[in-house]
Amino acid sequence: MVEEQIPKYFLEIAYNGTAYHGWQIQDNAVSVQEKLNQALSILLREEVETIGAGRTDSGVHAKQLFVHFSSKAKVLENKDRFVHSLNALMPFDISAKRLIEVDAKAHARFDATQRSYEYHVHFQKDPFLHEFSWQLRDKPDVEKMNIAALDLLGRQDFSCFSKSNTQVFTNYCDIKRAEWLWDGDRLVFHISADRFLRNMVRAIVGTLMEIGLGKKPIEHIKEVIQSMDRSKAGTSVPACGLYLTEVNYPYID
């Protein structure tokens, strides 16, 4: 007897992370995953557990995150109507963007081939950027930071930028892009890799800022990486400026 396959779906979401203690469900704090699971369970009329492409820390935003779940519910047949109904059940700061039926073996976390982040910095007080960008007084030397960022590229052990006591199999990541660009009078750091360690991007930004503000030489970044010591890297910058912007899969446009 052939066992009936339960359809599997990827759901693309976006969220303002200000009010949440990160993506992942926690016992004593409100998370994005908790709110999403609650809304899905109401709409599908069954308990739903989602698996995300990764987890963002408290206060970090996501312009794109994919999650997967399985269900035979009829409401999933009209994907556009489903997304509209789900959005009506979720808080204003979490949105569903599209629903995609995928192969039963597809996995939102393990199948992702690349993840991209942005870190936003501004230099003039702006009430509309308060929870969405890091305000700095002094402008850094962007050319120096971009020269230093070249040493981040490639597959390396990035233990120096990871939170301690994280349960991961390896601290090796393959960084494909690390670049600062001006966006008008704001500064944005773009970084892409196959995977990231906890707190990694914010620690990298803090280290590059030390170089850009003249506190450390350009060669400092290479020394930090070789040390594999978190205490050698810069301070983690505030979560409000960090955005998960893109997650790539071989089978999703």
Q: Using one digit for the tens of pLDDT, what is the confidence trace for 40-91?
A: 999 999 999 999 999 999 999 999 999 999 999 999 999 999 999 999 999 9
Q: What percent of the chain has pLDDT over 70?
A: 97
CA 104 to chain centre: 25
Question: What pTM, to 2 d.p., does this model score?
Answer: 0.94
72, two tokens? 């035979």
Beta strands 242-248 and 61-70: pairing type? Answer: parallel
Please check whether residue 100 is in contact with residue 15, taking contact to mean a CB–CB distance below 8 angstroms: no
Tell me the pLDDT of the chain averaged across its residues. 95
The Cα–Cα gap between 75 and 84 comes to 11
Residue 74 CB neighbour total at 10 angstroms: 9
With a cut of 70, say whether residue 29 has pLDDT above it. yes
What residues are labeled active site? 57
The H or E element spanning position 203 is: helix 200-212
The Cα–Cα gap between 84 and 120 comes to 30
172 is in an annotated binding site: no
